[in-house]
Amino acid sequence: MTTPGRPLLGCIADDFTGATDLANNLVRAGMRTVQTIGLPEPGAAAIEADALVVALKSRTVPAAEAVAQSLAALRWLQDQGVQQVYFKYCSTFDSTPAGNIGPVTDALLDALHGPGQGFTIACPAFPVNQRTVFKGHLFVGDLLLSDSSMRHHPLTPMHDANLVRVMQAQTRRRVGLVAQDVVAAGPQAIVARFAQLQAEGVGVAVVDAVSNADLMAIGVALKGLPLVTAGSGIAIGLPQNWGLGGDAARDAANGAANVAANAGTDASALPAFEGLAAAVSGSCSAATNAQVAAFQAAGRPAFAVDPLAIAAGHDVAAQALAWAEPLLAAGPVLVHATAEPAAVQAVQAQLGAERAGSLVEGVLAAVARGLVQRGVRRLVVAGGETSGAVVQALAVRQLAIGPQIDPGVPWTWAATGLGVPVHLALKSGNFGSTDFFLKTLA
Ligand code: ADP
């Protein structure tokens, strides 16, 4: 069982919203979890949690930089006394032959076991989110990864679904496979296969998984392994190794199709809501457009930020805050730059995509800060990059992870640099039901 105050599992996530996704799964599987934004300052107070998730921004930086960031995170997690380390990447295995999954895995194994030594797994499977691995091949829904929209990704296009081959191109270690029939035979069979592969000189085993039952069996087999590398799905099977169990474990045991269906475990307890409520949105995804429309259709007030007005030098943040201030006491408000693709393209044609993005992020971050200064204590943020900008503007260093709102989006609670705590819901683009703003701010 868990010893109060001592983290058991230490996680290194290669991006911000991916870290929150992992933390959400860990909480749902019964671990009290804290996510840090980068590494805490030296000398910061020890964190009371079962699991620590360090959010890095290392997915697409040069491999050497990703390795350096990850090793620094490993050292900090080791200082906290964690018993197992979890390197978390995307469930679509976002990487190139240059990295960063392979080089970071090599560096972590070298640091834990010595150069060229050690053994770990690679498993991006997350069946409830339509990511399965079979005979070493990654599927996104019914499509091979290489036939999915990931083949067009601007930074990490995935042209090969065979993860043994993809991983072998990135790592110095030999890559092997634990096939689904072995996984289905249970933890003992998986452990025996690990031993066989190690005897053959394999250092990284891609592991098949097509169901939550597979993830739970793999979880048992990973007990005591110093390093795990995976997407967020593998997280649901690990807490049982420390006698912890939550919704995910219960759902898997019941054979439920969707671990995301219910929310709330003891591990997810956060302080009660207080203060005023508001949302800021810089996401222009289809889901967010529908969510903004639903908020307005319900009669709630919304302020649209015009990127061209920002570029023309208007103090749009001050305007938005002056608009919001008298309304806040009557209920939640929304400040957004959310727009349909044609409008976004028109703005980008004038300002350039990068400049438009950073101007909008700057205004929304300033608005978020101003809202908290005006008494908002429950803040919903839509957009991955936007969330990063807001968290920075609020000088948040770590997030306590609470109950799940929708798959991949938990409530979080954070101290800010403004001297007050806030509840934050940080939603990446396509996540969340249509009534997301209404239900989170109700
Ligand atoms: P998502 O999670 O949906 O990708 P992000 O916040 O990560 O959302 O990215 C959206 C980007 O688009 C941000 O950089 C944001 O500032 C920018 N943006 C938001 N609204 C507009 C707009 N109306 N025109 C141009 N860019 C915009």
Residue 270 falls inside a structural domain: no
pLDDT tens digits, residue range 57-68? 898 889 999 999
Task: Quick: pLDDT tens for 184-225.
Answer: 999 999 999 999 999 999 999 999 999 999 999 999 999 999
55 has pLDDT over 90:
yes
The structure tokens listed for 242 are 């420390």
Closest C-alpha residue for ligand 1 atom 27:
357
Query: How does residue 43 score in pLDDT terms, banded at 50, 70 and 90?
Result: confident
Token pair for 221: 């087999």
Flag whether pLDDT at 281 surpasses 60.
Answer: yes
Residue 157 belongs to some domain of the structure: yes
Residue 284 scores a pLDDT above 70:
yes
Residues 246 and 173 in one domain: yes
Are 321 and 216 within one domain? Answer: no
Name the residue among 250, 222, 270, 254 with its Cα closest to residue 28: 250
Q: Which of 200, 227, 261 is the last residue of a domain?
A: 261
Q: What percent of the chain has pLDDT over 70?
A: 94
Greater confidence (256 vs 120) lies with 120
pLDDT on residue 260:
36
Same domain (yes/no): 142, 241? yes
Average pLDDT, the chain: 92
The answer on 188 and 82 residing in a single domain is: yes
CA 273: distance to chain centroid?
A: 23
As a whole number of angstroms, the distance between CA 34 and CA 40 comes to 12
pLDDT at 251 exceeding the cut of 70: no
Helices (H), 146-228: 163-168, 180-184, 187-199, 212-221
Does a structural domain hold residue 116? yes
Ligand 1 centroid, distance to 337 Cα (angstroms): 8
| Atom number in ligand 1 closest to CA 284 | 3
Instruction: Specify the residue with its C-alpha closest to ligand 1, atom 16.
Output: 357
Strand order in the sheet with 143-144: 131-134, 137-140, 143-144
The DSSP letter of residue 1 is: -
Ligand 1 atom closest to the Cα of residue 361 is 16
CATH of the domain at 253: 3.40.50.10840
Say if residue 345 is in the same domain as residue 235. Answer: no
H or E, element range at 118: none
Between 269 and 277, whose confidence is greater? 277
Hey, what long-range contacts does 110-115 have (CB within 8 A, 24 or more apart)? 111/71, 111/74, 112/74, 112/85, 112/226, 112/227, 113/226
Cα of 362 vs centre of ligand 1, distance in Å, is 11
pLDDT, residue 154, reads: 67
Which atom, in ligand 1's list, is nearest to the CA of 348? 25
- Residues 280 and 256: their CA atoms lie apart, in Å, by 34
Indicate whether 253 and 298 sit together in one domain.
no
Q: Is 147 a domain residue?
A: yes
Binding-site residues, ligand 1, Cβ < 6 A: 282-285, 288, 307, 337, 339, 344, 347-348, 356-357, 360-361, 383-386, 428-429
CA distance readout (Å), 173 to 44, 87, 209, 348, 369: 36, 17, 22, 44, 47
pLDDT band at 259 (very low <50, low <70, confident <90, very high): very low
In angstroms, what is the span from residue 23 Cα to ligand 1's centroid?
24
Higher pLDDT, 408 or 300: 300
pLDDT at 336 over 50: yes
295 Cα: distance to centroid of ligand 1 (angstroms)? 19
Which residue minimizes the CA distance to atom 25 of ligand 1? Answer: 344
Dump the DSSP string for 287-354.
HHHHHHHHHHHTT--EEE--HHHHHTT--HHHHHHHHHTTTGGGS-EEEE----HHHHHHHHHHH-HH
Q: At 331, which amino acid appears? A: G
Residue 390 has pLDDT above 50, yes or no: yes
Which of the listed residues 149, 340, 386, 390 should we mutate to test ligand 1's pocket, taking the one with most ligand atoms within 8 A of CB? 386
Compute, in angstroms, the gap from residue 167 CA to the centroid of ligand 1.
32
Give domain status of residue 266, yes or no. no
Taking CA 359 as the corner, what is the angle to CA 40 and CA 439, rounded to the nearest 5 degrees? 70
Residue 20 falls inside a structural domain: yes
In which domain, by residue range, is 388 found? 276-441
pLDDT of residue 396: 95
Higher pLDDT, 429 or 76: 76
Lowest mean pLDDT segment, chosen from 43-52, 99-108, 257-266, 307-316: 257-266
pTM of the model: 0.84
- 313 and 217 together in one domain: no
226 and 375 inside one domain: no
Same-domain status, 45 and 154: yes
The amino acid present at 285, given as its one-letter code, is: S
Tell me, yes or no, whether 46 lies in a domain. Answer: yes
Which domain-ending residue is among 261, 287, 305?
A: 261
399 has which bridge partners? 35
Asked if pLDDT for residue 2 goes beyond 70, the answer is: no
What is the reported pLDDT for 16? 83
pLDDT of residue 287: 87
Distance 281 CA to ligand 1 centre (A): 8
174 shares a domain with 46: yes
- Is the confidence at residue 436, as pLDDT, over 60? yes
Q: How far is the CA of 353 from the centre of ligand 1 (A)?
A: 9
Residue 144 pairs with which residues in a beta bridge?
Answer: 139
Q: Whose CA is nearest to atom 6 of ligand 1?
A: 383
**Among the ranges given (4-18, 84-98, 389-403), the one the predictor scored with the smallest mean pLDDT:** 4-18
Same domain for 237 and 301: no
Q: Which residue has the tokens 């004038």?
A: 350
- In this structure, the residue with its CA closest to atom 24 of ligand 1 is 344
Question: Cα(92)–Cα(321) distance, rounded to whole angstroms?
Answer: 39
Total number of domains in the chain = 2
Give tens-digit pLDDT for 128-180: 888 999 999 999 999 999 998 888 776 788 999 999 999 999 999 999 999 99
198 assigned to some structural domain: yes
Which is it for strands 421-427 and 376-382: parallel, antiparallel or unpaired? Answer: parallel
Question: Mean pLDDT lowest for which of 115-119, 312-316, 364-368, 430-434?
Answer: 430-434
Say if residue 153 is in the same domain as residue 231: yes
pLDDT at 415: 95
| Closest among 333, 405, 399 to 367, alpha carbons compared | 333
DSSP string covering 121-140, please? EEE--BGGGTEEEETTEEEE
Mutate to test the pocket of ligand 1, among 284, 291, 361, 381 (most ligand atoms within 8 A of CB): 284
Query: Does residue 398 register a pLDDT over 50?
Result: yes
- Does the pLDDT value for residue 1 go beyond 50? no
CA of residue 192 to ligand 1 center, whole Å? 48
Residues whose CB is less than 8 angstroms from the CB of residue 105 and which lie 6 or more positions away in sequence, other chains included = 87, 120, 122, 170, 171, 173, 204, 227, 229
| Of 352, 366, 221, the residue nearest 282 (C-alpha) | 366
The enclosing domain of 387 has a CATH number of 3.40.980.20
Strand 143-144, strand 137-140: pairing: antiparallel
Cα 90 to ligand 1 centroid, rounded to whole Å: 21
Using the predicted structure, report yes or no on whether residue 112 has a pLDDT greater than 60. yes
pLDDT in tens, 305-328: 999 999 999 999 999 999 999 999
Q: Which of 261, 295, 313 is the last residue of a domain?
A: 261
- Is the pLDDT at 421 greater than 80? The verdict is yes
